[in-house]
Amino acid sequence: MTVTTIDLDQAVLDTAKDLTGARTNRDVVNRALQTLIAVRRQPEAVDRLLSRDITDGQTQAPVVHYAAPGIPADDA
């Protein structure tokens, strides 16, 4: 773990804590960095998926409909 001192906008930090449920400044900054990395890697992951050769047999999986408790099942 690296120790770094940074100046942060307290209002932005508080908002980020509220939105993420993070309890500490360290946690909210780590979550922000992890999110940034994931978002920047998404286009590369999508390109990898789109470049795969997918056969019809791989896309003909059965469809299963689940109903949430208290909500009628969708008989589509």
Handedness of CA 45, 50, 53, 56 (dihedral sign): positive
Q: What is the pLDDT of residue 74?
A: 63
For residues 23 and 13, is the Cβ–Cβ distance under 8 A? no
Local confidence pLDDT in tens for the 76 residues of the chain: 888 899 999 999 999 999 999 999 999 999 999 999 999 999 998 888 889 888 877 777 788 777 777 776 665 5
Contact present, 28 and 22 (Cβ < 8 Å): yes
pLDDT of residue 22: 94
pLDDT, residue 29, reads 94
First-to-last CA distance in the chain?
51
Phi, psi of 67 (to 5 degrees): -110, 140
pLDDT for res 10: 95
pLDDT for 73: 66
Sign of CA dihedral 6, 18, 24, 14: positive
